[in-house]
């Protein structure tokens, strides 16, 4: 899981999306978007205005309008960062969002996978691995196996670390969500008790929204992490390969994703506590 923000012709497109979004996340099926995304008119206004005008104001969004809205929302999400550094591209902070197209899902996954932060994180992880001599061993005859030390060892560790996160992001946030029609984004709750939000965050590692807006098992995340662990058998030393290690690595990455979900959920609260004010992108909406 990659780390976590989400009428009048003269207003900017992002302001347009913000104004017409509902106050709370709703299922993302066709009927839901027809209901929640249309402009609402009071019954008294309907009595006073011509029927044609009322029908026009309440009409469902066209496919072109949905595509434009989802593109505006995605553009906003791809600029979200925590502390101005950690990418928060895979999060819906506004409670609800239009389902992404297959092309948009892959675009979001690739953008997350190649963010400069990921290169920096791989550098730090490789440095730690170099210091602890990870993925390296010495046999009884004194021969060293695995990555070893020196620049060669560091380069191998760096490549493996970056490949791990790249594969997991592309598969778990891009390819599988496209094939399984799932939404890989994290929908921030924002309100409620600490325990409710805490367990909600943890649950999203194994539960996600489908493109139809309904909650379902998060096959994309779990299978994506396991698949990335399987691919790592191609470049990890022989001692670090095998089915058991693949499953172990997949579960480890899933646990890391759970921590990332907690960070996305509670970072605005932490920021508010530190700065004494609410972040502009800190809506208090609760997924249903």
* More confident site: 284 or 114: 114
Domain ranges of the chain: 65-275
Query: In the prediction, which pLDDT does 242 show?
Result: 86
Q: Write out pLDDT tens, residues 77-120.
A: 999 999 889 999 999 998 788 999 999 999 999 999 999 999 99
* 233 touches 241 (CB < 8 A): yes
Separation between Cα atoms, residue 70 and residue 110, nearest integer Å: 17
pLDDT band at 48 (very low <50, low <70, confident <90, very high): very low
Mean pLDDT of the chain: 79
Mean pLDDT across the stretch 276-282?
55
- Work out the angle at residue 108's Cα, subtended by the Cα atoms of residues 104 and 112, and round it to the nearest 5 degrees: 170
Query: In the prediction, which pLDDT does 263 show?
Result: 92
Most confident of 27-41, 58-72, 258-272: 258-272
Which residues lie across from 183 on neighbouring strands?
Answer: 209
Separation between Cα atoms, residue 75 and residue 163, nearest integer Å: 26
What SS3 state is found at 55?
Answer: helix
Comparing 21-30, 154-163, 190-199, 201-210, the range with the smallest average pLDDT is 21-30
216-249 CB burial, b ≥16 within 10 A, e <16: eebbbbbebbbbbbbbbeeebbeebeeeeebeeb
User: pLDDT at residue 216 above 80?
Assistant: yes
Query: In the prediction, which pLDDT does 8 show?
Result: 38
Query: Distance of alpha carbon 185 from its chain centroid, rounded?
Result: 4
Give the percent of the chain with pLDDT over 90.
44
Half-sphere exposure of 12 (CA within 13 A, CB side): 7
* 19 touches 93 (CB < 8 A): no
């Amino acid at each position: 899981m990659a780390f976590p923000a989400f009428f009048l012709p003269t207003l900017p497109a992002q302001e347009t999306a913000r104004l017409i979004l509902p106050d709370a996340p709703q299922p993302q099926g066709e009927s839901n978007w027809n209901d929640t995304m249309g402009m609402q008119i009071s019954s008294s206004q309907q009595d006073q205005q011509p029927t044609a005008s009322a029908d026009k104001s309440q009409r469902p969004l066209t496919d072109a309008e949905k595509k434009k809205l989802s593109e505006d929302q995605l553009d906003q999400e791809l600029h979200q960062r925590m502390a101005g550094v950690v990418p928060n591209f895979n999060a819906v902070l506004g409670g609800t969002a239009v389902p992404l197209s297959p092309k948009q899902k892959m675009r979001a996954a690739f953008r997350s996978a190649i963010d400069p932060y990921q290169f920096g994180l791989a550098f730090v992880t490789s440095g730690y691995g170099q210091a602890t001599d990870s993925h390296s061993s010495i046999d009884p005859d004194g021969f060293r196996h695995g990555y070893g030390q020196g620049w060669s060892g560091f380069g191998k560790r760096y490549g493996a670390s970056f490949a791990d996160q790249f594969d997991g992001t592309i598969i778990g946030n891009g390819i599988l969500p496209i094939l399984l029609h799932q939404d890989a984004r994290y929908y921030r709750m924002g309100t409620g008790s600490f325990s409710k939000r805490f367990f909600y965050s943890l649950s999203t590692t194994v539960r996600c929204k489908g493109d139809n807006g309904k909650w379902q098992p998060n096959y994309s995340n779990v299978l994506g992490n396991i698949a990335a662990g399987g691919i790592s058998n191609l470049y990890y030393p022989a001692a670090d390969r095998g089915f058991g290690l693949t499953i172990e690595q997949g579960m480890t990455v899933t646990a890391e994703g759970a921590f990332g979900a907690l960070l996305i959920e509670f970072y605005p609260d932490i920021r508010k506590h530190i700065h004494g004010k609410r972040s502009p992108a800190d809506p208090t909406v609760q997924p249903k």
